[in-house]
Structure 1
């Protein structure tokens, strides 16, 4: 055979560039001895010979397309296909194809499948993007379907998929797999890891009668069988009504036929076939070393494999020690910090320096882990202890009810409780006894007024000392980096100085709800609003003051309003009132400049580094609110809170009144502290970032890094090694981690994941919720109807007064949007997370933890937010 055709016997995984992902996998499996029907591949060299006469025109037609403009994309795709349809296959390609076909009987039926070079890869499957033709008989039909496969590289779906996944059109070529056609009685798809739960120990098998085309094209529901790969036991079976099948025709092609009534509800597979398929799938997975998506067929009682590709949709697995076969359960700290975007390795590595337990040789906590670019905590030891299980699951009811339900589901599994490390939480209480015994003092006896001011001072002192330590002139870069890590390690003890007050405030608020009863819920809600001293609320009010300052000068306001997207303060100092505005701006940055959107990720810009998002918020407030409205609104909430605090004791039985007064004062005096620890952490991270950027500049100048920003793709250990002595070139490592980061960024992280890779997905249930309502956690009371505004970037988007803010999450960088929001819906959160607290303080209804809210809700939808019961309705 020529360079235009290769038989399976000459193909393995290294032939990707010649035969594409599908062809390389089939050749690899055939050579490894798996039951793959024989065949050959028409190579990418043949494809390039086919498109060569019009190649420049093809890529010119696709140049500059916007993946969001589907109409333009469709037009361009059709033009490309029309152009290619006029091109015949080159004579030398036809000759090579003829020679290959002549090695088979003239009436041999083939399956003809497209196989792109960017297909069936570990990070992108491209499944179904190009065309497949079944039961192709005869040279003429084979030649034409080969040409049609070449053309299908430019179907609308294939063009769009490449654009969305960052593949240049000119870098992708197509091979055609020509494979002996199996005429099956049964066929289907086998996943060697459950694609729904993502449990790597469960095989999932879809099966139907006839050709698998009916199943993959969605024409028929398939039986679903699940097998535990460790034991071989069939753990579940769901028999579907299979109304039709696709069968081959004797003369070529296929037909769709209705199945007899009795066969429609019959099990497609016997137990023997189920276990045999699972065992074969496990062998193929073992060969490739990763979970596989396998297409199979059964003909004459024999199993054939017609395709295998990596399962690219799976979330990455936690890393567990090789000698540890116990079941582990991980909780997403990214969800608890309401920032679920992927973070680069350095950002997560630094997070592992905060906990002071379970430290490894590098000083990182082994209980914190980077899984898919997010921070997860291994809670297994404490969850295995009965008391720890009770405390932690109770706490999660406040933090995130979906995570609570997922944890409860996992801790009931016998295999979780049977073995593994166990930690008694009383040991932790003993270690923290100095702090713990102060909590009752502040709840029942201690003076709480003025505590916020004291904590403000403690926080400033710590941050100032860190800044002095890191700027000491006699330190080399390695010493400066170690001091930066020590500053992070010192944060939890520093928080301990006011943690008892904060916990006392949270407990007081919870007990107040119980003592007041449902009949006084409105007064308790008012008590939670308008509290004084919360650092995030103060920041938001300060942003409103900046908006008022901008409005205070017509010249400043006009200048800023003319600035295009990507706003800056360039030139404002030259207009009347500009210096005064800039003085207030600098004062704001002096206090809050370390903050910004997604601020728990140290690599993200702070407001003092890039003020564009902050200025956009200020301009948004000038456009959608009146001067002073933010202060008047919050003052009104504060007055209402004070009135409610005075009124509530009279609304409860006499024997509760003294305690209610105490708890009311605690709630208003101490609850503002709940954001202080994060604010201090962000300010310390900002100081650490300055050190890292200085080190990065030096490493970049020495050629260790290609550019300073590459430091975010190192881990703390990598940087230690680089600073300890002769440094290796880290650019290849950075390049690989950048690619991993881009892959992780496209994945939605689970709240809870097990060491088996399983994602428990429990649903919340709200009694009385209307059919079709989206269920979440009720975190701020009230019912509101209005227009939705879906926001994904708070630095670029604003809200008009009365709109409902719908967001994946909110953190302090989002707070200015609450000024105009009349209700809140988020995908992430619980009773005590950022958006929930701010919503209560602003007195707007909120429902959080609504899965896929930003996908299901569109800007302009009319919603009803029920913050009392915890559900969201899309109204006509």
Structure 2
């Protein structure tokens, strides 16, 4: 039997398609014992006769062909004149009597379409407040007709939803004559904290807040301790009240500046917020009201805009909190998850590069989960003390001015065995690498040759790897080779120390500010060397004459370019062909797989005016000025030695990671070879699914032809769905969801960030969210979130750089220094604040970005 009306307290539970999400929520919360005003839902089936009648009209046929405002208004007009059938009226009267239905009532839609489609029709359907029993039938007809409103139809067309599927359910609920009402969130939408409830409150009906005609009071409550953290009381000069004869009207509160809720009511409401969240099991926002001192829950909805955490990172509300720093956006220039295989390999890399001194694991300093890596700063603080906070602050300035407070709040209570092991590893690392570091300082030429030998050894080994054993053994052999050569790459420490020596020589003079010029375009830096070789390829006459990417790809594939160019291209591929976007991920395609994109990168170089052409002259000029000061101080010989050491070794601080990238590129090739075999056997649907498996699973699959791989792929990738569609990953977040960001204020004033590359430049801004979405013209300032090596040609064209993600060790900051570009970072949200064409002054020495003129 078809149910026409569902009472909120009925034993029969409807489906989402019967009554829509709003009504289903009220039925659910009523059953949970929450204080929901009595009411019922007129189901989709209740409106079956009306819907059928409307859809049989020529006006409806015309609307389907052309959903114009005129056609929508015609159908809406027909629908608003619908009259209840005898069966409908009888069912309605019966349910009104059961809730003592003398009125007034609130009449609102509960559309199944918005809930089933995952879209939001917020504000598009009509709501009628203060509806008397005599007015009820007309209000129901008008609410029903609103599903044919032009806004609804346009929205459905934009989201490719079938117009024919128009259906609606209507809620009829006892109207609360609220003295105070409002909305509340079970988490703080401003900082994402799961433990903070946020309440907006005003006098009268809550529609005043929803419609924006009043500025409400705002209260923030810590849900665990039940402490009111913040309170902002506003002047509430208007209120909405019920009229005795139906409808609502504006009034003036007797005490507009008075606090809307008492302290007791704030805490009582917080308990209701907690109970509603506990009922649903996820964050909610609610509408609530007080009538004659009694609190009511009017509506509850899931909050879908918060930033979630992997369950493994969450602590219970009453447990000691942890503090995480997301490694991906800070150090790698992108925020996306790594692949399952890529994340596992990168975990090993982090452990190897730090030689166990930065231990991985739940009780260590770094935790890797589902393709993401986080520093557990609470453990870092315990293990390294204030040096841990200094490390975090050097990468991002979100804690600026409250470092001590954060340190005290989050430092772990105890040292774990793994952290103690990390301390011992730090000492062992110094003992192992120390002799090579010291030797490189006394003999930088020998140290440079040692690094070059290590690079040649690893290039030869990685390029020669084959699938001649199980994949886990191939990976292990790669890391064994890396370990054997890593000690030969630590000479860069001498270059870093030499930089400090130079600053000491020039300290207190005007030349001290010029020391950064020495770090520009250092020959030993692999990224700088790659940029020069790309520029050489881009400058080749054959490339200048090539018209498009398809021609380039064809000529490279068929080797129809000159032998000289092909030799240069082959050499580039051998050394740098494994680099690219998300290069630390084994899953990421390499240059050889994206020849067309590489051609676009070559064409992006401005051959007539770029930083590589200018940097040598600027660097020479700066060095000569510094040499004059060094000579005057009697330290010219020491200056020249330091300069030579920097040129030979400073850039090699990038070499270990560069070799990891080469290793990843070769493992990428081998993994795809294995995948092709699995696809041919029908065990994978496509070759890229190999990267959704772990190293062990790949190896097991090689040994066991009966191992079913697709369920493993599904299980491994399921947790990553949590972040599908997420583009803005916070750098710092605690285990209760609280996000820490430095707040920026847009306007005529300055933006203060982190100074990561000296110099000052004035020019027009160009905001890029991807490297080649639009051209960066000579003289323009690059404004972006973060970068990695595929952005190199863009930097060659830039005159200054502004970055959202902070820190001087990320790719963008390093390359800015390489090319001598003023650079300010650590400005979250700046790509939304700065617009194309804004005239900016970028002061990379002091970390200031000034707005000189807004673009028209």
- Would the TM-score normalized by the shorter structure come out above 0.5? yes
Q: Structure 2 residue aligned with 1:192, among 140, 164, 186?
A: 186
CA contact (8 A) 2:80 2:142 kept: no
Alignment of 1:164-243 (within 5 A): 174-243=168-237
**Shift in Å, 1:259:** 2.9
In the alignment, is residue 376 of structure 1 matched against residue 353 of structure 2?
A: no
Is the Cα contact below 8 Å between 2:758 and 2:844 reproduced in 1?
yes
1:872 corresponds to 2:854: no
Q: CA deviation at 1:776?
A: 1.5
Instruction: Give the CA deviation at 1:848.
Output: 1.3
Q: CA deviation at 1:489?
A: 8.1
Q: Distance in 2 between matches of 1:360 and 1:810?
A: 25
Offset, 1:145: 3.0
In structure 1, distance between residues paired with 2:747 and 2:811:
28
What does 1:119-130 correspond to in 2, within 5 Å? 128=123, 130=125
- Show the counterpart of 1:541: 532
How much does 1:867 deviate? 1.8
Q: Name the counterpart of 2:793.
A: 816
Moved more, 230-239 or 363-372: 363-372
- Give the whole-Å Cα distance in 1 for the aligned partners of 2:768 and 2:364: 36
1:245 Cα deviation from its structure 2 partner: 1.9
| CA contact 1:407–1:752 (8 Å) conserved in 2 | no
Aligned to 1:459: 455
Deviating more after overlay: 605-614 vs 365-374: 365-374
- Corresponding position of 2:495: 505
- Residue among 429, 432, 438 paired with 1:432: 429
* SS at structure 2 position matched to 1:449: helix
Counterpart CA distance in 2 for 1:751 and 1:544 is 34
Q: 2:518, 2:348 → 1: CA distance?
A: 37
Distance 2:87 2:499 in 1: 80
- The CA deviation string for residues 821-869 of structure 1, in whole angstroms up to 9 with x for no partner, is 1111111132232222222222221111211121122222222222232
Identify the residue that residue 757 of structure 2 maps to in structure 1: 780
Name the CA shift for 1:398/1:418 in 2 (closer, same or farther; >3 Å): closer
Residues 849, 484 of structure 1: alpha-carbon distance in 2 compared, 3 angstrom cutoff = same
Say if 1:509 and 1:667, in contact at 8 Å, map to a contact too.
yes
The range that moved more, 789-798 or 184-193, is: 789-798
Q: Name stretches of at least 5 consecutive residues in structure 2 with no aligned partner.
A: none
Distance 2:447 2:63 in 1: 69
Conserved in 2, the CA contact under 8 Å of 1:352 and 1:365? no
Match of 1:69 in 2: none
SS of aligned partner of 1:279:
helix
Query: CA–CA distance in 1 between the matches of 2:793 and 2:113?
Result: 43
CA distance in 2, matches of 1:121, 1:104: 29
2:735 aligned with 1:755: yes
Task: Select which of 342, 351, 360 maps to 2:346.
Answer: 351
- The alignment partner of 2:763 has SS state of strand
- Distance of 1:696 and 1:573 partners within structure 2: 23
> 1:275: which partner in 2?
267
Show the 5 A alignment for 1:615-626: 615-621=599-605, 624-626=606-608
Q: CA deviation at 1:334?
A: 0.9
SS at 1:337 equivalent: helix
SS at match of 2:836: coil
Bigger mean CA offset, 321-330 vs 240-249: 321-330
Q: How far apart are residue 488 of structure 1 and its match?
A: 5.4
Aligned with residue 620 of structure 2, among 634, 639, 644 = 639
Cα–Cα, structure 1 residues 770 and 630, in superposed 2: closer, same or farther, change >3 Å?
closer
1:526 is the counterpart of 2:517 = yes
* Distance change in 2, residues 1:759/1:839 (3 Å): same
1:545-584 CA distance string (max 9 Å, x none): 12111xx14xx645424x5xx8852357899956654554
Match of 2:812 in 1: 835
Q: 1:404 to 1:537 in 2, by over 3 A?
A: farther
1:536 positional shift: 0.8
Contact 1:136/1:142 (8 A) holds in 2: yes
The separation in 1 between residues aligned to 2:121 and 2:368, in whole angstroms, is 27
What is the aligned partner in structure 1 of residue 832 from structure 2?
A: 855
Deviation per CA, 1:330-389: give whole Å up to 9, x if none.
11101222433322541334333334489999999975445796432223222124xx13
| 2:680 corresponds to 1:680 | no
Tell me if the contact between 1:198 and 1:314 (Cα under 8 Å) persists in the aligned partners.
Answer: yes
Asked if residue 288 in structure 1 is aligned to residue 265 in structure 2, the reply is no
Q: Deviations over 1:236-260 (max 9, x none)?
A: 3222222222223333332233334
Aligned residues: 832
Distance 1:169 1:440 in 2: 71
Matching residue within 136, 139, 147 for 1:139: 136
Query: Structure 1 residues 851 and 181 mapped into 2: Cα distance closer, same or farther (>3 Å)?
Result: same
Question: Cα distance 1:579–1:496, how it changes in 2: closer, same or farther (>3 A)?
Answer: closer
Query: Are the equivalent residues in 1 in contact too, given 2:444–2:494 (CA < 8 A)?
Result: no
Pairing 1:266–2:258 present: yes
**1:134–1:633 Cα change, 3 Å:** same
The DSSP-based 3-state class of the residue aligned with 1:304 is strand
Deviation at 1:528, TM superposition (A): 2.1
Deviation at 1:27, TM superposition (A): 1.5
Q: Deviations over 1:135-192 (max 9, x none)?
A: 33323332233224423594489559x74xx978788965433332222111122222
RMSD, aligned CA: 4.1
The CA deviation string for residues 496-535 of structure 1, in whole angstroms up to 9 with x for no partner, is 5423x33443344345445533622442132222321211
Deviates more, 1:25-34 or 1:103-112: 103-112
SS of equivalent residue, structure 1 residue 317: coil
* Residues 104 and 246, structure 2, Cα contact 8 Å, conserved in 1: yes
Among 398, 401, 404, which residue is 2:397 paired with? 401
Q: For residue 814 of structure 1, report the CA deviation from its aligned partner.
A: 0.3
How is 1:441-456 mapped onto 2 (pairs within 5 angstroms)?
441=438, 445-449=441-445, 451-456=447-452
Tell me the CA shift for residue 60 of structure 1.
6.7
Q: Which moved more, 1:108-117 or 1:847-856?
A: 108-117
Are positions 1:483 and 2:474 aligned together? yes
> Aligned to 1:569, what secondary structure does the other structure show?
helix
SS of corresponding position for 2:286: strand
**1:724 and 1:258, CA in 2 relative to 1: closer, same or farther beyond 3 A?**
farther
Q: Per the alignment, do residues 322 and 872 of structure 1 end up closer, same or farther by CA in structure 2, a change over 3 Å counting? A: closer
Quote the offset at 1:227 in angstroms.
Answer: 2.3
* Larger CA deviation: 341-350 vs 818-827: 341-350
Tell whether 2:29 aligns with 1:25.
no
**What is the aligned partner in structure 2 of residue 66 from structure 1?**
none
- Residue in 2 that maps onto 1:599: 583
Change (3 A) 1:184 1:447: same
Structure 1 unaligned segments of length 5 or more: list them.
62-75
| Cα-to-partner distance string for 1:185-235 (whole Å, 9 max, x where unaligned) | 111222222222222222222222112222233332222222222222333
1:218 is paired with a residue of what secondary structure? coil
CA contact (8 A) 1:21 1:116 kept: yes
User: Using the alignment, how far apart are the partners of 2:390 and 2:500 within structure 1?
Assistant: 13
Q: 1:340 corresponds to which residue?
A: 334
Moved more, 303-312 or 522-531: 522-531
Q: Larger Cα Rg: Structure 1 or Structure 2?
A: 2
- The farther-off stretch of 837-846 and 113-122 is 113-122
Shift in alpha-carbon separation, 1:577–1:488, aligned structure 2, 3 A: closer
> In structure 1, which of residues 560, 563, 568 is the aligned counterpart of residue 547 of structure 2?
560
Q: Could you tell me which residue of structure 2 aligns to residue 68 of structure 1?
A: none
Change beyond 3 A, Cα 1:511–1:579: closer
The change in CA–CA distance for 1:512 and 1:571 in structure 2 (over 3 A counts) is closer
